Amino acid sequence: MMNTDTLATSPTDLQVAQCASEPIRIPGAIQPHGWLAAVDWRSGGLVAFSENWSALLQSTPDMLAARIEGALDAVSGVRPGLIDGEGPVSCGTLTIGGRRLHVSGHRLGGLAYFELEADTDDAGNRAPIYSLARHLVPMMQRTDAVSELCRIVVAEMKRLTGFGRCLAYRFDADGHGEVLAEAIDPGYDAYAGHRFPGSDIPPQARELYRINHIRLIADAHYEPVPVRFVDGRDGTALDLSQAALRSVSPVHLEYMRNMRTLASMSVSIIVDGKLWGLVSCHDHAPRQLSWQARMACEHLGQLLSLQIEAKEENEQVTEQLRLRQQTLAIVAHLSDSDATLQRLVEEPGPLLRLARATGAAVILNDSCWAVGETPDHATLLALGQWLGNRIDQVWHSDRLPVEAASLGNEADNRADNEADNEAGNKVGNPLGPTAGLLAISISKLHRHHIVWFRPEIVQTILWAGDPRKESAIGEDSRLHPRRSFASWKQQVSGRSLPWTPGEIHAVQELRQALIGIVLRRAEEMAEVAMELGRVNKELEAFSYTVSHDLRAPMRHIAGFVDLVLEMEGGALSERSRRYLAHVKEASAHAGQLVDALLDFSRMGRSAIKPGSINTDHLIDDLIAEQNTLNKDRRIEWAVSRPLPRLWGDPILLQVAIRNLVTNAVKYTRPRDPARIEITGFETGDGVGLSISDNGVGFQMKYVNKLFGVFQRLHQTESFEGTGIGLASVRRIVERHGGHVEAWGEADRGARFRFTLPTREMAEAQAIDPAPGHGAFPLTMPP
């Protein structure tokens, strides 16, 4: 049978509640193949006993307690040596009623427990423990793979016990048991490669397996023997967690019978203090095992646990070394660059190998840089938004389509808002073949994440019975286990290979290293910013001094030229007068440059005195001024009213807007008529003005040169100017906490616009920096 849907293989809430409430630690009964007595740990007085003692001692009920105490006198001397909470230990043998019995004991709190079972002769060199130490340990040490270890152990345990089937399985992350090795006799169902649903072993049973490492059920048809206290209390108050004879749940006995198993033994595999798996032995017929055989099996389970733990630790160390090397390669590459994290995708090899991923991306707010197999741009941005609300440091999943079902809708909505989105991008699942995601967060202030992707791996899982057919409540109102263990196939889709703990730890280390690099680079940039501020102050002071001191010489040059022409003009040749005219023209232009440089310096040094500006009135005044200066030209003004009110220094902003309007008038001189359009706008960053024209324009590849001091894109002979106007605009706007943008097309016109914070934004951000710092804005790393 094949099923491609996701299976709900966990029990219902009612079943979980009933299983969790079942008193498996205090069943109030034992299995009938032995006898139990609990005595006070200090005094040795009998506290509780199993009711089958009466048949063993042939005693009346009123004399039974005394007879049990007398029978246990021979082993009472070992009582003080029992360690609280540890498993049973051998206490020797007793002969009662002509029967030789083996005694084991353990302690829980203030009680010492003694369990008696039929004894067998010690086999000497053929004893199970000797065989284990002599032959099996060297074989286990020579193996490399965990599956091979398990194969050796199940074969040896089957030989030791005589059970018809012995299998070893481990629990996966979902609690399901995966069979790794099996040894069976003819006539037994084979389960190698199968999985058992996690619901077969309830959580409280798993915890008991972790505490008590071996459990034998000799006959699934047994009738429990009640346990009672000497003082008449109910036996269900007695904790039998460590008792080998403890009676098990009726649900489990029915489970065994449904599986055609009348005898079973389970040995726990404990790795790093957790229940890693089990070795389970089954038989079609009832089967009893001696104490010595069971202890050999328990020791064998402990050896297996130690070997698995050692191999897994070795694998983890090897894996950590490999991952550390990849991390160092990533950090080294980033340290040699400008430390911006988008540089990670320039050398994708170590980044992808670190997480064994097929794709990776760096996401920063509304920007992203990707390499390898990743979702599309819109989905990555939606993913950054989605992660920003969910993780602090690390998040991972091997079933992303299920855990991030809403991500597809977010990606589609974002794609709808992108002007360049193609219609085909929204067809199908936006995540594409991606099913695994590992993500780290770099900043708590920004949506800054590094993410790795893994593709979907379609798997076919072989179950020992349909896992959807859960336990059910019968007519007797009791929980009944599933009845079928026939092979059942399930096709699992929408999942990737799981992320290992080593990989998760490695990206956590990478996160710390990247944060360290970014912070160190931020400190370096802060030092550079301070130094730039100091140099900027010195430059501004120097430019102010130079420009101020040069004004008088320029005027003197022009004045002396006028005097020479006035006094000696008649004696000068035409060539001399032309030369003097060139001198006067050059000195006048130099004077203009000095005045402009002085004004530019003042803009950086003067304090901002913000206020509300009526932009409509300001624009009207500037239009009237330009119409007066250009009476011989036809200029069409298109002003979209009302214009927004601006918040800033009225004098400085008037200078900035006048420069933009003057440039529009100047560079539309070849047009008849010239058309200049002025509009207002409002964005999330604030409000501003846009001034566009139909003039000579410029090529966009030169846009970064426009706002530099003395930067000109047109010859002075064609358009007069000092090359400082746009630099002044940028300085004024940035000192107000805003920004300037420009667009142009050669011979088609240009558009300039600036955005300023509103009054509320400006007051919240305290935008007025110290004089001299506004000209060099720095974007610090997050």
623 CB neighbour count, 10 Å cutoff: 17
Residue 189 is given by DSSP the state P
> What type of residue is 113?
Y
Distances (CA, A) of 671 to 234, 341, 748: 108, 48, 11
Among 460, 478, 482, 458, smallest CA distance to 469 is for 482
DSSP string of 531-562, one letter each residue: HHHHHHHHHHHHHHHHHHHHHHHHHHHHHHHH
Q: What is the pLDDT of residues 589-635, one digit of tens each?
A: 666 656 555 555 555 556 678 889 999 999 998 899 888 888 888 99
Q: What is the pLDDT of residues 258-315, one digit of tens each?
A: 889 999 999 999 999 999 999 999 999 999 998 888 988 999 999 999 999 998 888 8
CA separation for the pair 175, 203 (Å, rounded): 9
pLDDT of residue 769: 40
Q: What is the pLDDT of residues 350-389, one digit of tens each?
A: 889 988 999 999 998 888 899 999 988 888 888 888 888 7
CA separation for the pair 582, 574 (Å, rounded): 13
DSSP string of 658-711, one letter each residue: HHHHHHHHHTTTT-SSEEEEEEEEEETTEEEEEEEESS----GGGGGGTTSTT-
Bridge partners of 750?
693, 744
Q: CB neighbours of 613 closer than 8 A, spacing ≥ 6? A: 645, 646, 647, 648, 650, 653
Residue 343 is given by DSSP the state G
Bridge partners of 426?
none
Tokens at 571, concatenated: 């004696």
pTM, to two decimals: 0.62
Q: Mapping DSSP to helix (H, G, I), strand (E, B) and coil, where does residue 441 land? A: strand
Residue 129 · residue 147 · CB < 8 Å: no
Residues in the chain: 782
Tokens at 488, concatenated: 């059942």
Q: For the chain, what is the radius of gyration of the CA atoms?
A: 44
Q: Is 142 or 5 the better-scoring residue by pLDDT? A: 142
pLDDT of residue 511: 87
85 CB neighbour count, 10 Å cutoff: 12
715 CB neighbour count, 10 Å cutoff: 7
Tokens at 75, concatenated: 């082993």
Q: What is the pLDDT of residues 210-234, one digit of tens each?
A: 999 999 999 999 999 999 999 888 8
CA separation for the pair 263, 220 (Å, rounded): 6
Residue 613 · residue 650 · CB < 8 Å: yes
Q: What is the pLDDT of residues 54-95, one digit of tens each?
A: 888 888 777 888 888 888 887 877 888 888 988 899 888 888
Among 672, 651, 674, smallest CA distance to 662 is for 674
Among 105, 124, 125, 107, smallest CA distance to 115 is for 105
Please tell me the least confidently modeled range out of 36-45, 352-361, 406-415, 534-543: 406-415
Residue 241 · residue 205 · CB < 8 Å: no
Distances (CA, A) of 476 to 202, 251, 448, 479, 622: 21, 13, 58, 9, 95
Could you tell me how far CA 103 lies from the centroid of its own chain?
Answer: 54
Residue 300 · residue 136 · CB < 8 Å: yes
Could you tell me how far CA 654 lies from the centroid of its own chain?
Answer: 51
For the chain, what is the mean pLDDT?
80
Please tell me the least confidently modeled range out of 11-20, 329-338, 632-641: 11-20
Report which secondary-structure segment, H or E, holds 95: strand 89-96
Residue 718 · residue 667 · CB < 8 Å: no
Residue 281 · residue 163 · CB < 8 Å: yes
Could you tell me how far CA 515 lies from the centroid of its own chain?
Answer: 15
Residue 289 · residue 161 · CB < 8 Å: yes
CA separation for the pair 210, 222 (Å, rounded): 25
